[in-house]
Amino acid sequence: MSQGPLAGLRVIDAATLAAGPLIATWLGEHGAEVIKVEQPEGGDPLRQWGAQKDGVGLMWKSIGRNKKSVTLDLRREAGQNLLRDMAGQADVIVLNLRPSTLQKWGLDYGSLAAVNSRLVMVHVTGFGAGGPKSDRPGFGTLGEAMSGFAHLTGSPDGPPTLPSFMLADGVAGLTATYAVMMALYHRDVHGANGQLIDVNLIEPLARLLEQSVLTYDQLGTAPSRTGNRWDISAPRNVYLTKDGRWLAMSGSAPTIAKRALEAVGRPELTRDPRFAEAQQRLKNATAIDTIMADWISARTLDEAMAVFEAANVAAAPVYDAEQLLADPHLTAREAYVSLPDSELGGMRVQAPVPRFSDTPGSVGHLGPALGEHNEEIYGQWLGIDAAGRQDLRSQGVI
């Protein structure tokens, strides 16, 4: 890990659950030293989140990769003081406490910057600072609802649909990760101080859904659910094959849409005014869907994919987890790596993305045990002697 492009960068992950910790995970994959700060009793709730094996949270094992875990009760003044001491030696700190809590505990950016003017602080909240909802608790579900995602997702005659994975958290985490790199560039290249990065769970995802806002602003219409169609291209849907599998197709580029029509034996439609131009294809999307669905339903997934691949049509099978892990292309790219683990024996996790030619990311270890690195961090980082560490333990601070 010391050879990564972020080697020498010290990051404190004092956030919980998904968005904040993901930022630190991605920085850690590329060489940053990441200290995960957790409550002494139970740790980050992420440890109990989702699927478990023998009481070990599987999601924690992946998001906790490459991190060092220390316990610290931030509800105590002594714990708050210790975190400020750690921030004095760090480059980045990630927090997701409510703004009022940060102020009350003296962990707001002004207080931490007074200790370390070079510190970059990421504050992840449900709603962001400065508005009437800034101090309300928020989770990804609320971001997926308020961003407009749920409104656009699902069948036209069905309810708004929420994703069954951490979409808003992930998009917010990715957004904040590149923001950290920009803040560090500004600090290190331009000789500036650190700064505060304010990110919430609504706005990053809403940015990806901006087309609906643009449409409403300019045309006065609010897009609604269209199932698996999308009102920018046709064909675009998932289709059931003869052997009960699903195939996804996108005709986003005009040349690809024409190839799809030719591949299913309808080359004459590429010259038909109803299908020859993108806007006309959209108006006749139902007819295109019927053509594609009828052709695909008469063939197995392998048969249909063989035709589409030969014709350079943008089509792909819809995978479940087993099929994803077995895909020969992803296997060749080593998209998933198996790591040993003291609690699970071993587990496959996704390798770091994106890929770098000279400084590739890596996964050194999976999520550590709670407080596994207390002695190292409090002893070596902060210089607290053995008696002092024992005193902190006896008080329940660590």
Q: Give the domain CATH number at 301.
A: 3.30.1540.10
Residue 328 falls within a domain, yes or no? Answer: no
If asked whether residues 136 and 255 sit together in one domain, one would say no
Q: 152 vs 226, which has greater pLDDT?
A: 152
One-letter amino acid at 226 equals T
Residue 38 falls within a domain, yes or no? Answer: yes
The angle at the Cα of 202, spanning 99 to 251, to the nearest 5 degrees, equals 160
Residue 3 falls within a domain, yes or no? Answer: no
Residue 188 falls within a domain, yes or no? Answer: yes
Q: What total number of domains does the chain contain?
A: 2
Summarised one tens digit per residue, pLDDT across range 256-311 is: 888 999 999 999 988 888 887 778 888 888 898 899 999 999 999 999 999 999 99
User: Does the structure show a pLDDT above 90 at 252?
Assistant: no
**Which residue, among 187, 149, 191, 186, has the nearest Cα to 170 in the 3D structure?**
149
Residue 142 falls within a domain, yes or no? Answer: yes
**Which residue, among 254, 324, 323, 246, has the nearest Cα to 292 in the 3D structure?**
246
Beta carbons within 8 Å of 31's beta carbon, 6+ residues apart:
1, 2, 3, 4, 5, 6, 7, 8, 9, 359
- Partnered with residue 336 across adjacent β-strands are 350
If asked whether residues 289 and 339 sit together in one domain, one would say no
Beta carbons within 8 Å of 99's beta carbon, 6+ residues apart:
108, 123, 125, 129, 134, 135
Residue 229 falls within a domain, yes or no? Answer: no
- What pLDDT does 2 receive? 58
Q: Give the domain CATH number at 389.
A: 3.40.50.10540
If asked whether residues 93 and 163 sit together in one domain, one would say yes
If asked whether residues 313 and 187 sit together in one domain, one would say no
Domain final residue pick, 284, 317, 350:
317
When pLDDT is cut at 50, 70 and 90, the band that residue 74 belongs to is very high
If asked whether residues 297 and 349 sit together in one domain, one would say no
% of the chain surpassing 90 pLDDT? 88
Residue 219 falls within a domain, yes or no? Answer: no
Domain range for 278 is 236-240+246-317
- What pLDDT does 236 receive? 86
- What pLDDT does 361 receive? 95
DSSP symbol at 368:
P
User: Does the structure show a pLDDT above 80 at 389?
Assistant: yes
If asked whether residues 111 and 36 sit together in one domain, one would say yes
169 catalytic residue (yes or no) = yes
One-letter amino acid at 292 equals M
CB-facing half-sphere around the CA of 190: CA atoms within 13 A: 9
Summarised one tens digit per residue, pLDDT across range 314-354 is: 999 999 999 999 999 999 999 999 999 999 999 999 999 99
If asked whether residues 78 and 201 sit together in one domain, one would say yes
Mean pLDDT score of the chain: 95
**Residue in 73, 169, 198, 289 annotated catalytic:** 169
- What pLDDT does 15 receive? 98
If asked whether residues 292 and 348 sit together in one domain, one would say no
If asked whether residues 76 and 40 sit together in one domain, one would say yes
**Which residue, among 376, 372, 375, 377, has the nearest Cα to 342 in the 3D structure?**
372
Domain final residue pick, 290, 317, 344:
317
If asked whether residues 308 and 342 sit together in one domain, one would say no
If asked whether residues 175 and 311 sit together in one domain, one would say no
**Can you give the three-state secondary structure of 4-51, one letter per residue?**
CCCCCCEEEECCCCCHHHHHHHHHHCCCCEEEEEECCCCCCHHHHCCC
Residue 227 falls within a domain, yes or no? Answer: no
If asked whether residues 257 and 137 sit together in one domain, one would say no
Domain final residue pick, 317, 349, 375:
317
